[in-house]
Amino acid sequence: MGHKKKDKKKNLPSYNRITLKKFILDIFRNNPTMLYNYKQISKILDITDNETKKLITRVFYDLVESGNVEELYTGKFKFISSGSYITGIVDMTRRGTAYIISDEISEDVFISQNNLIHALHGDEVKVSLYARRKKHNLEGEVVEILNHAKTTFVGIVDLSKNFAFLIVESKNMPYDIFIPITKLNGAKNGEKAIAKITEWPKNAKNPFGEIVEVLGKPGNNDVEMHAILAEFELPFKFPEFINSEAEKIEDKISDEEIKKRRDFRDIITFTIDPKDAKDFDDALSITKLENDNYEIGVHIADVSHYVTPNSIIDEEAFQRGTSVYLVDRVVPMLPEKLSNLVCSLRPDEEKLCFSTVIEMDENANVIKYWIGKTIIKSDKRFTYEEAQEIIENKNGELASEILKLDELAKKLRAKRYIKGSISFDKIEIKFEVDEEGKPIDVYFKESKDSNKLIEEFMLLANKKVAEEIGNEKPKKEAKTFVYRIHDEPDLEKLNNFSSFIKRYGYNISLKSNKEIASSLNDLLTEVKGKAEQNVIENLAIRSMAKAEYSTNNIGHYGLAFDFYSHFTSPIRRYPDLMVHRLLESYLIKKEKSANKSEYEKMCKHSSDMERRAAMAERASIKYKQVEFMQDKIGQVFEGVISSVTEWGMYVELKKTRIEGMVALKDMDDDFYEFNEKSFSIIGKVKKKKYQLGDDVKVQIIRTNLQRKQLDMLLVEEKSL
């Protein structure tokens, strides 16, 4: 990661909430005695559009809530000075130094190794800022560790006669953990294990710890997948008492419960899921009405009926936050009795659901909708491949229903794009593995019409439940709800992205948010099938903000929805379960608004667990990529430079999209330097430039499974 001063940008389309907050805090911090209103801030930042001026006012009140500023007079705000301290997150480098990333300042703060007071990567810390020296980066020192990101680490046991070390595998952990011989817990030399840091004496170079779990021999597939989960502090299996509690759940539906629900058992209903899926948490029904409109039911497994708040199953599900999808397995959020049996909408079985039922005309206009509890009986389970075949061939079981839903879905999608929704339709890399989990082939999964059919109706249902609660009448405060929010793009990243794609002859409009979205969609369509497609798609995604969960609705930029939530996957996402409970509370039980601060804490935890699960999934893919390339050392491949860093450049192989690294130290024909502005590496003497997106030929020279590293060498044409 490159760290630099983030200069204020002018004449860009808009500031998003995060960047605007940083710039406003900078202004206050540099002028701590001044009072500012939104007009003064607008003038300083050269903001002329009314939407961003309104956003300034919202950010002012965010800063009041977080204790950074106070409102002395109506619309006039003053900085609350607390000395030259900030709080932020540690971003550790390989050398043991760190940068602090903070929402309170527009520049990353450099911390030397000696001034970290044993803070580690991801820790939340309080930092004292030093007075800036001319032409130097902002520096400081950690004065307090507020929250440890993690205390357990995965590595290989290195056993000596009287002590041992856990050689930690994470690139963000520059220290190995000292293990007293009495704290090995049966671990043997060379085994993979999990250690917990128990103390770190002030003058000790390494932290002290104990082995809490022995995973087994490196290279074994189960051991490696378990290690990846442990690296991100994710569970590997359910404790027996959780499974035992799940087995007690009664799956018989009483007549009394059926009477409380809208009955869809006689309506044509079906599921469309991946061929290896076992947890079917959504189903669709469609009926043609007498007025020639269509009634479409989006039926979602009613997990909240079986998982009650504060039960041990609920607490376990909350801690997990989400199901985790690794290359060769799913680690579910709920025990198998619930996820694959009781709550799974399996064909020919009566199931309890929470549904959004939508009346729609031929042009996919929503006439009206209803949200409530239902009972269904799925007629058929389709795989995506089976549904796709029906769409392409125009015949097959339930063909008329599937074809009509496909037709309506395409109209819904077209309307989304017109309103500014962005089409990120990335191809996923998948592995075919043998019985021992070893990858034997690589293939790509592309979203087709059957996938998009399901996606479109899930998006619509998620949108409607969010509107139902969030879109209250004027002067009436909306009740607490869980939203899926997505901020506007980071203006600096977006401008850099715009500059980069010009070298390929592409352009995007930065005039307004709607034009950004429209031109991005045009760009993503234009690059399909071209060599630079993956690089441009990845950079476009990186220029976007990250979606997250919050009770504070700011809308969803990527979808161009003012209100959006997650309602459609309660078997595998805890926020959806939260949404179901709030809907029942408000729409059925007519209860008062839930406690906002409690739900906001739950949202933050859910967002964190989602990020961890995504990182674990990427780590499992990276491991399988390196494993797949182990027998290809010495072979030469065509690739494209997918990323550049201060230590080397990453190259993605064209045929398999597997990524490896060419280290600067291995480029011995010149002294190469990293140029962050031009996304390039440039030779100091010969001035040869290697830039993001360039075509190159590389030779595989090393594979390191433990570190998930694939090392490459550049190969010149003349040497082939």
Select from 79, 110, 125 the last residue of a domain. Answer: 79
pLDDT tens digits, one per residue of 197-231:
999 998 899 999 999 999 999 999 999 999 999 99
Task: Answer yes or no: do 160 and 119 share one domain.
Answer: no
pLDDT tens digits, one per residue of 104-157:
777 889 999 989 999 999 999 999 888 666 667 788 899 999 999 998 999 999
How many structural domains are present in the chain? 6
Please tell me the predicted confidence (pLDDT) of residue 1.
Answer: 42
Task: Answer yes or no: do 213 and 337 share one domain.
Answer: no
Give the number of C-alpha atoms closer than 13 A to the C-alpha of residue 402, restricted to the C-beta side: 28
Please tell me the predicted confidence (pLDDT) of residue 8.
Answer: 40
Mean pLDDT computed over 284-309: 97
Alpha-carbon gap, residue 201 to 216, rounded angstroms: 30
Select from 79, 95, 127 the last residue of a domain. Answer: 79
End-to-end, the C-alpha distance of the chain in Å comes to 33
Any domain includes 229: no
Any domain includes 373: yes
Please tell me the predicted confidence (pLDDT) of residue 277.
Answer: 87
Any domain includes 565: yes
Task: Answer yes or no: do 295 and 264 share one domain.
Answer: yes
Per cent of the chain over pLDDT 90 is 63
Alpha-carbon gap, residue 200 to 204, rounded angstroms: 7
Any domain includes 700: yes
Mean pLDDT computed over 691-716: 91
DSSP per residue, 61-78: HHHHHTTSEEEEETTEEE
Select from 126, 147, 168 the last residue of a domain. Answer: 147
Q: How far is CA 653 from CA 236, 431, 666, in A?
A: 32, 15, 19
Task: Answer yes or no: do 500 and 355 share one domain.
Answer: no
Any domain includes 698: yes
Alpha-carbon gap, residue 226 to 45, rounded angstroms: 49
Any domain includes 68: yes
Q: For the domain that residue 169 is a member of, what is the CATH number?
A: 2.40.50.700
Task: Answer yes or no: do 482 and 579 share one domain.
Answer: yes
Q: For residues 425 and 381, which has the higher predicted lDDT (pLDDT)?
A: 381
Question: Are 616 and 234 within 8 A, CB to CB?
Answer: yes
**Residue 501 token pair:** 């794609």
| Segments forming the whole domain that contains residue 635 | 629-719
Any domain includes 568: yes
Residues 6+ apart with CB under 8 A from 449: 388, 391, 392, 406, 409, 410
pLDDT tens digits, one per residue of 604-636:
999 999 999 999 999 999 999 999 999 999 999
